[in-house]
Each structure stands twice: as C-alpha cells, then as structure tokens.
Amino acid sequence: MDMDPALNVILLIAGVLFTVLAGWLGARPPDLRRPGPRMVPWRFVMLLSAAFTAVMFSILMHHYGLGQPPRQY
C-alpha cells in the first residue's frame, strides 16, 4: 500500500521540525530553580523523531525512483 506523496512530504517536514524542536529543548541547561524532575526526555525524543524522519526520507526517495536500482538476477 503506497502512501500519497503529499502526505509523505508533510510527514517529512513535520519530522524535521519536531527533531529540531526536541534538539533545542534537549540542549537547554537544566533550570535548578524549577522544582521537580524534567518529565520529557528530549534527547531520546529527538533520536526517535530523527529516525522517523530518516524513514520518511527513504520512503520519499523510493517513491520518486531515486533509491537503489532493482536487482537483476
């Protein structure tokens, strides 16, 4: 089942934006004046969203025929 290319592009852009946001939030120094622990592991979220973005990019490349050529047996 193929996805619509427009949906792939939208998901790719959303993944890139979320990866950048999570990277920025994960790189901030901890604020010791705020009580309680940091509840969201932003570095791990950044890693997961970067993996999702790589998969979306790979699917988009394959859809437009820019991936590896098919094997000839």
Cα 53 to chain centroid, rounded: 3
Q: State residue 2's pLDDT score.
A: 65
Burial (CB < 10 A; 0-12, 13-18, 19+), residue 14, is middle
Q: State residue 38's pLDDT score.
A: 73
Q: 7-63, pLDDT tens digit by residue?
A: 999 999 999 999 999 999 999 888 888 887 778 899 999 999 999 999 999 888 888
Residues 6+ apart with CB under 8 A from 62: none
Q: State residue 61's pLDDT score.
A: 87
Q: Is 0.85 topped by the overall pTM?
A: no
Residues in the chain: 73
pLDDT at 1 over 60: no
